[in-house]
């Protein structure tokens, strides 16, 4: 893994040719102006939740082909992580602070 923009843009190494890779861009938001709490998109990209959904789909595919306890445990933990991230988002929406840098 190579970090291009900490927390936002990475190059994930390819398995068979680690010298090359694929860029993963996460959405990057910044305050709209100094001291503002409203955030604006600086770079569009994916989310942690979407990456987890990709990994869950892949692990389900692998579990169907090569079932094992380890795959089942990985799936449980990925699904749990997704659940907590979605809960965080729902809680922020309910408090009216989603899309801001307010707690």
pTM of the model: 0.91
> Residues 42-61: what's their mean pLDDT?
98
What confidence tens digit (pLDDT) does each residue in 73-97 have?
A: 999 999 999 999 999 999 999 999 9
| Contact present, 24 and 43 (Cβ < 8 Å) | no
Q: Provide φ and ψ at 32, rounded to 5°.
A: -65, -25
Is position 4 within any domain? yes
Considering its fold, how many domains does the chain have in total?
2
Cα–Cα distance measured from residue 44 to residue 63, given in angstroms and rounded to the nearest whole number: 32
Is position 101 within any domain? no
HSE of 37, CA atoms in CB hemisphere, 13 A: 7
Q: Which domain holds residue 60?
A: 47-96
Q: If residue 20 lies in a helix (H) or strand (E), which one and from where to where?
A: none
């Amino acid at each position: 893994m190579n970090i291009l923009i900490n927390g936002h843009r990475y190059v994930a190494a390819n398995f068979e040719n680690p010298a090359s890779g694929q860029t993963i861009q996460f959405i990057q938001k910044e305050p709209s102006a100094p001291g503002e709490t409203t955030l604006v998109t600086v770079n569009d990209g994916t989310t942690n939740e979407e990456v987890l959904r990709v990994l869950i789909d892949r692990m389900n595919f692998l579990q169907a082909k090569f079932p094992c306890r380890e795959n089942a445990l990985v799936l449980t933990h990925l699904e749990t992580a997704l659940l907590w991230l979605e809960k965080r988002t729902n809680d922020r929406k309910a408090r009216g602070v989603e899309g801001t840098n307010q707690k």
